[in-house]
């Protein structure tokens, strides 16, 4: 079967860790890196969905996906999982900080506990996961860290203050990490998906009004799919992008 999408030889056998990998964009990335011959490890709090994904991909390539249940808000647990993956799968070349979560609350309704959860679920783990993989990458003399941001703060979307603050923080953190880690030939970039038609979004949020708004605002008049975003991550992990760092790559069909 002929495919129109790229194959990256540099990804073959490369150890890739993806957080939040059981569904949506995360699952699409697990599948995409696995199809490229990568040694894919992924973390998620949803063990049931993760096992379904893993069972579907197992034995389709020479490296079976490696899954660990993990709540990224628990930094100790996260760091232990990363250490275990490094020991059992191999030195981690690519870290994809994809895990996150949303809740719509106006700024004046955000309590301290809600604020802390927004940051721990979307931002805090990005730093500490990056710290944890740094020794692996430094040892190899190369690496790629890919962090997920969001267009919500650029669109000034009402009700997303906590989430938008965390996601804007990811852009700033990524640029500083790119500078500091660049001395070790480690690249740090961000991906900004647009409104992506995951199964969750289609079930709970997609309706004629939302789709009309998207098609009015977007330059390209079609829905962005999880696999479209996954292909950006493939490129940013591959050697084809070896001089690209401290950048934000938008996969939003021209939404912002």
Q: Which residues are catalytic?
A: 163
Name the burial class of residue 225, with classes exposed (0-12), middle (13-18) and buried (19+) by CB atoms within 10 angstroms of its CB.
Answer: middle
Give the whole-angstrom CA distance, residue 194 versus residue 18.
Answer: 19
User: 83: helix, coil or strand?
Assistant: helix
Q: Which residues does 7 contact at the CB level (< 8 Å), separation at least 6?
A: 36
Tokens of 59: 């034995």
Place of tokens 């650029």: 154
Closest alpha carbon to 17 in 80, 87, 66? 66
Tokens of 222: 């079609």
């Amino acid at each position: 079967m002929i495919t129109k999408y790229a194959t990256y030889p540099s990804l073959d056998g490369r150890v890739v860790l993806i957080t939040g990998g059981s569904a949506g964009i995360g699952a699409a990335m697990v599948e995409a890196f696995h199809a490229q011959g990568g040694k894919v490890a992924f973390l998620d709090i949803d063990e049931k969905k993760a096992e379904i994904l893993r069972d579907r991909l197992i034995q389709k390539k020479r490296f079976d996906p490696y899954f660990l249940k993990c709540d990224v808000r628990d930094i100790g647990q996260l760091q232990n999982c990363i250490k275990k993956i490094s020991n059992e799968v191999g030195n981690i070349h690519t870290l994809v900080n994809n895990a996150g979560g949303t809740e719509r609350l106006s700024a004046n309704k955000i309590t301290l506990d809600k604020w802390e959860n927004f940051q721990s679920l979307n931002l805090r783990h990005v730093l500490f996961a990056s710290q944890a993989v740094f020794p692996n990458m430094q040892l190899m003399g190369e690496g790629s860290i890919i962090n997920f941001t969001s267009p919500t703060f650029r669109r000034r979307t009402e009700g997303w203050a906590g989430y938008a603050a965390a996601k804007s923080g990811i852009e700033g953190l990524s640029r500083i990490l790119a500078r500091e880690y660049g001395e070790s030939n480690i690249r740090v970039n961000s991906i900004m998906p647009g409104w992506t038609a995951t199964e969750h979004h289609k079930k709970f949020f997609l309706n004629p009004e939302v789709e009309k708004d998207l098609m009015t605002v977007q330059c390209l008049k079609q829905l962005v799919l999880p696999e479209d975003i996954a292909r950006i991550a493939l490129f940013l992990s591959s050697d084809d992008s070896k001089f690209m760092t401290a950048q934000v790559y938008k996969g939003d069909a021209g939404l912002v």
